[in-house]
Structure 1
Amino acid sequence: MIKNYFVLLFIVLVSCNKTIKKEATKKNEKPNIVFIFTDDQTYTSIHALGNNEIITPNMDAMVKAGTTFTHAYNMGSWSGAVCAASRAMMNSGRFVWRANKFRKNWYKKDSVSLSKSWSKMMEAAGYDTYMTGKWHVDAPAPLVFQNTVHIRGGMPGDAWDHAKMKQKFDSISKIKGAKSADIMPNGYNRPLSENDKSWSPTDTTKGGFWEGGKHWSEVLKDDAIGFINQAKEKDNPFFMYLAFNAPHDPRQAPQEYQDMYSLDNISVPKSFLPEYPYRHNIANGDDLRDEALAPFPRTEYAVKVHTKEYYASITHVDAQIGKIIEALKKSGKMDNTYIIYTADHGLAMGRHGLIGKQSLFDHSMRPPMVIIGPDIPADKRSNADVYLQDVMATALDLSGAEKPTYVEFNSFLDIAKGERKESHYKSIYGAYLSVSRMIRKDGFKLMVYPEIDKILLFNMNEDPEEMNDLAGDSANKEKIKTMFDELLVLQKQMDDPLDISDIYKKFYKN
């Protein structure tokens, strides 16, 4: 009897020891990281974050399940293709102007630069890496990721190619009497009126996201689930880079998603203008592809039509994200997986009379940003300023890898976990080409338009839509000087090639 008792006790102790070891091993395992990336999605385009017009049940669920950064920013761009600059910064870890220099080395197949990219660093940390969707980075994706499929370019379809559109614009605009309607390919410069039926977002013959026979967002969802099914059979942690092309134009989605929205229920933005008065001074002319999508001057009807298509595209993406997350849950890996969701920048969609992302207004600089994970607080909001490109440093932080000195962006993991409240940045810097610079600090934003020596100041707490320029108020003279001086310091830190040092003096002379 006593002998049997000790045998039983031994079995129990061995079993407990195995369980403890198993749990310890689980705790020591590196977490899986799934990066979900949309294109052209502004921070105000999620129902749970205050937009009552849009339908986003799965994005809402992510907001509920994790920590949302309400003030995430894209640092800017050296190109009208803002998405390319955003992705170069994110994958290289370098601030905007140094990322522009660094990206050129990625053309070299055997370049050491490849080893310094985000995915290669994750691979070096022991991760299996997967990528599908929009890449738009100079380095070939198959050389950066171990597993790739359906790598997409900047835009779907030749008809939507900016270079070809601009070439057509340049050639036809020289003809006397030529109008924008003569210049733009199908899908641009519309709708001209309520009777304009020249474009349908569900017409598969238009190509775009329908090229290949299946909508690209659905293809990406299938790829992602395929990756998950591969990864769940392996012991290695995985890093997935899932980059949707949507809701970038052409904003196409199946009919059932279009039918979810009525123009009667879509509002016009508070900051709507028929035309932004300084658009030509900030390189938002008639030949800028994004701006050419809708007619000049803007009409409320045209903005509503484009917004309806935008919402439908986002809701369609939302459905695919839901299926990806469901596959993660079924894989048994979810308990040790972090999801980071964001977009490459925002989009104007009629605000300030603009349609695209080529400005430093918040609607164009700010995407949504959510992180979900085992130790990330649920249903939490942080208003700490972050850059969306901080995702790379955050993933490295999660992996246990040491951040290299050349990675200039910061992990926001400590903020997400509640270990830190304030931003890692004293202020937020923004730049677009040589036509605009920006600094945001302490609830104020200073914008500079160098081509016309124009300075604008906005109180972002009282005026989040950036409608009331306070720069002309003499009471703000000292604040403008302080912010301008700090912007000059940031320019030096960023290797910014543009000299704006004389603009402040000219501003006060006038």
Structure 2
Amino acid sequence: MNTRLFFLLSLLLVATRLQAADKPNILFIFSDDQCFETIGAHGLTDIDTPNLDRLAREGASFSHAYNMGSWSGAVCMSSRACLNTGRFLWNAQEATRECSQGKRKSWSQLLSSQGYETYMSGKWHVGGMSAPKVFDRTGTIRAGMPNQKPAGYNRPKDQADYETGWKPWDKAQGGFWEGGKHWSEVLADESVTYVEETADSEKPFFMYVGFNAPHDPRQAPKEFIDMYPLSRIKVPENFIPQYPDQGDKGVPIIRDEKLIPFPRTEYAVKVNRQEYYASITHMDSQIGRILDALEKSGKADNTWIIFSSDHGLSVGHHGLVGKQNMYEPAMRVPFIVWGPGVKPGIKIDAPIYIQDAMATALEISGQAVPDTIDYKSVLPLLDGRAKQSYDNIYGAYINSQRMILSGDWKLIAYPLLKKVKLFHVENDPLEMNDLAGNPEHAGKLNQLTTMLEKLMDEMNDPMTTLAKADYPRSKEKQ
């Protein structure tokens, strides 16, 4: 080889390595089914999450982070497809196919092109896209959810049924205990090992750590269940024995909703919330192990951490259990950003989407967010370049529900029922006072309906025509 050419190539290689070494590491931690209210530091629920509290105290919390919804009962699949392709809901399925065909780069591949080593372990569940093909390294790839045995459904009917029934710490029930060690612990083991193995590497890393918890079966070691005696558990203020608009045309009665007996009882809700909180606290302890390993590696000062969840969960709110609805507990999740220069303890109320994590990581890596990415980085909200990212927040569930959040107002539409609900979420955060039938708010109802229809067009919503035909219109107060 020509000496001069060899010298130039050597300089280029050194420059590339130096550039990569200057880039911050990115750790993305993603839970499953975690409602926005379940971070102890936020003061919304009596729950112990010391490690997530630390991230919230030392980083920035986004109080209104939303998932867009789903094209199927498995809400996590659509959420994760949007997250890893960067496309809005109704375009994400095609985008996953494009990624699998090499016609589009996934989140991890975009970071890999910037010199990052990409690593993924835990829950993946992105249909049509293989994690080992889009990440440089992978640990144990988990299925959509641990196996739930029949005994884990329709429980507990009463205290006697609980005493003789399914227990979350019983390893014989499988689920998270399949393999002998709780899946959250296995994920932490693998993540800690990866951090230790890369401690001396100059190459920046992108870690995608996907917990299956706190998805059901809500299992945890008994000591974590014991942290939450039922006397500590509060039933949600908006609890009702049964949601009135359940069924194929409204909120479906599918797997999630069958976990607790009908009609709902305060006792059953308390037990399920007990197990939900215990699963989250157990997961939090595993997150603490990863944070400790990062600190020990010496790389914490040059690492950004983004924590969020794929969607929320009802667990008793409005008489519902699952995430296949448009209420805040199902749509809204925690979203925390921790990293160099982030002002500690700040809270940002501007609404965002969960999937903004992707665009945020791309900006952190130093690359411009491609035009092919629909979501937006939250860094402008952190550094003052922007006051808000979106004018309105959109939500959808298959062909039966649509939602728009605009400022302090929220409209939930059931096109197949020809019914809408209107809430002033600032004054009524628990969404208990439906104003759709109040003539004083007919103008707001009509305004939001029109805005939703326009937003559906922008989102390439396949139900736009039907929705326009089905939405009722209120008459202005005379």
Q: TM-score, normalised by structure 2?
A: 0.92
Q: Summarize the alignment of residues 1-80 of structure 1 with structure 2, pairs less than 5 Å apart.
A: 29-80=22-73
Shift of 1:278: 0.2
Q: Residues of 1 paired with 2:292 and 2:74: CA distance?
A: 33
- CA 1:267–1:477: 2 relative to 1, 3 Å: same
The counterpart of 2:394, out of the listed 417, 429, 434, is: 429
Q: 8 Å contact 2:393–2:404 — kept in the other structure? A: yes
- Rounded Cα–Cα distance in structure 1 between residues aligned with 2:20 and 2:201: 17
Aligned counterpart in structure 1 of residue 346 of structure 2, from 355, 358, 380: 380
1:505/1:368 CA distance change after superposition, 3 Å? closer
Match of 1:7 in 2: none
CA deviation string 1:403-462 (max 9, x = no partner) = 221100000111123333x21111001111110101101110011101111011000000
Contact kept, 8 Å, 2:308 with 2:336, in 1: the verdict is: yes
C-alpha change, 1:398 and 1:209, in structure 2 (3 Å) is: same
SS in 2 for 1:306: helix
Q: Does 2:312 correspond to 1:332?
A: no
Equivalent-residue separation in structure 1 for 2:337 and 2:382 (angstroms):
8
Quote how far apart the aligned CAs of 1:52 are. Answer: 4.6
Q: Does 1:91 align with 2:56?
A: no
- Is residue 116 of structure 1 aligned with residue 105 of structure 2? yes
Task: Go from structure 1 to structure 2 and tell me whether the alpha carbon gap of 1:266 and 1:505 turns closer, same or farther (over 3 Å shift).
Answer: closer
Tell me, in whole angstroms, the C-alpha distance in 2 between the residues paired with 1:42 and 1:417. 27
CA deviation after TM superposition for structure 1 residue 50, in Å: 1.2
For residues 141-175 of structure 1, the C-alpha deviation after alignment (integer angstroms, 9 at most, x for no partner) is 10010110110010112x45xxxxxxxxxxxxxxx
User: For the residues of structure 1 that align with 2:382 and 2:212, how far apart are their CA atoms?
Assistant: 27
Structure 2 residue 114 is the aligned partner of structure 1 residue 125:
yes
Distance in 2 (alpha carbons) for counterparts of 1:318 and 1:150? 19
**Aligned equivalents of 2:336 and 2:219: distance in 1?**
25
Partner of 1:402: 368
Q: Is the 8 A contact 1:77 1:431 kept in 2?
A: yes
- Residue pairs, 1:250-265, within 5 angstroms: 250-265=217-232
**Structure 2 CA distance for partners of 1:148 and 1:452, relative to 1, 3 Å:** same
| Partner in structure 1 of residue 446 of structure 2 | 481
CA-CA distance at 1:319 after TM superposition: 0.3
Gaps of 5+ in 1: 1-24, 161-184
The answer (yes or no) to whether the contact 1:201–1:252 under 8 Å persists in 2 is: yes
Map of 1:153 onto structure 2: 143
Partner of 2:126: 137
Structure 2 counterpart of 1:440, from 405, 410, 434:
405
Decide whether the 8 Å contact of 1:371 with 1:416 is kept in 2. no
SS at match of 2:318: coil
SS in 1 for 2:369: coil
Percent of aligned pairs with the same residue?
49
Q: Say if 2:20 and 2:115, in contact at 8 Å, map to a contact too.
A: no
Say which is worse superposed, 211-220 or 27-36, in terms of deviation: 27-36
**C-alpha distance in 2 between matches for 1:397 and 1:103:** 22
SS at match of 2:151: coil
Match of 2:94 in 1: 101
Residue in structure 1 matched with residue 265 of structure 2 by the alignment: 299
Which stretch of the first structure deviates more once superposed, 27-36 or 482-491? Answer: 27-36
- Structure 2: gaps (5+ residues): 1-17
CA distance in structure 1 between the aligned counterparts of 2:194 and 2:472, rounded to whole angstroms: 57
Encode CA deviations 1:64-98: one digit per residue, 9 max, x unaligned: 01000000000110011000100000000000000
Corresponding position: 1:198 with 2:165: yes
Whichever residue aligns with residue 276 of structure 1, its letter is: Y
Q: What do the CA deviations read for 1:296-333 (whole angstroms, capped 9, x no partner)?
A: 11000000000000000000001011111011011011
Are 1:67 and 1:382, in contact at CA under 8 Å, matched by a contact in 2? yes
- Which residue type is aligned with residue 430 of structure 1? G
Superposed displacement of residue 478, structure 1: 1.2
Confirm or deny: 8 A CA contact 1:76 1:365 kept in the other structure: yes
TM-score by length of 1: 0.87
CA RMSD of the aligned region, Å?
A: 1.6
1:53 Cα deviation after fit: 1.7
- What do residues 167-204 of structure 1 show as CA deviations (whole Å, max 9, x unaligned)? xxxxxxxxxxxxxxxxxx11100001110132100000
Aligned with 1:37: secondary structure? strand
Match of 1:392 in 2: 358
Instruction: Write the distance in 1 (CA, Å) between the matches of 2:230 and 2:97.
Output: 45
Residue number in structure 2 paired with 1:459: 424
Assess if the C-alpha contact under 8 Å between 1:281 and 1:449 holds in 2: no
Asked whether the 8 Å contact 2:86–2:107 carries over to 1, the reply is yes
Superposed CA deviations along residues 347-383 of structure 1, whole A, max 9, x for unmatched, are 0010010001000101000010000001111000000
Equivalent position amino acid for 1:215 in 2? H
Q: Does structure 2 retain, via aligned residues, the 8 Å contact 1:75–1:96?
A: yes
Aligned to 2:189: 222
Task: Write the letter of the residue equivalent to 2:358.
Answer: M
For 2:152, what is the secondary structure of its paired residue?
coil
- Once residues 28 and 330 of structure 1 are traced to their aligned partners in structure 2, the CA distance between those partners, rounded to angstroms, is 19
What displacement does 1:283 show? 4.8
Q: SS in structure 1 opposite 2:468?
A: coil
What does 1:352-363 correspond to in 2, within 5 Å? 352-363=318-329
Q: Which residue of 1 aligns with 2:11?
A: none
1:341 maps to 307
Q: Secondary structure at the match of 2:423?
A: strand
- Between the aligned partners of 2:411 and 2:294, the Cα distance in structure 1 is 43
The alignment partner of 1:430 has SS state of: strand
Superposed, 1:239-258 pairs within 5 Å as 239-258=206-225
| Conserved? CA contact 2:20–2:204, under 8 Å | no
Letter in 1 for 2:48: I
What is the identity, as a one-letter code, of the residue corresponding to 2:96? R
Task: Give the paired residue count.
Answer: 454
Q: What is the rounded CA distance, in whole Å, between the counterparts of 1:52 and 1:493 in structure 2?
A: 36
**Aligned CA distance change for structure 1 residues 480 and 337 (closer, same or farther; 3 Å):** same
- What is the one-letter code of the residue matched to 1:233? D
| Residue aligning to 1:417 | 383
Please say if 1:502 is aligned against 2:436: no
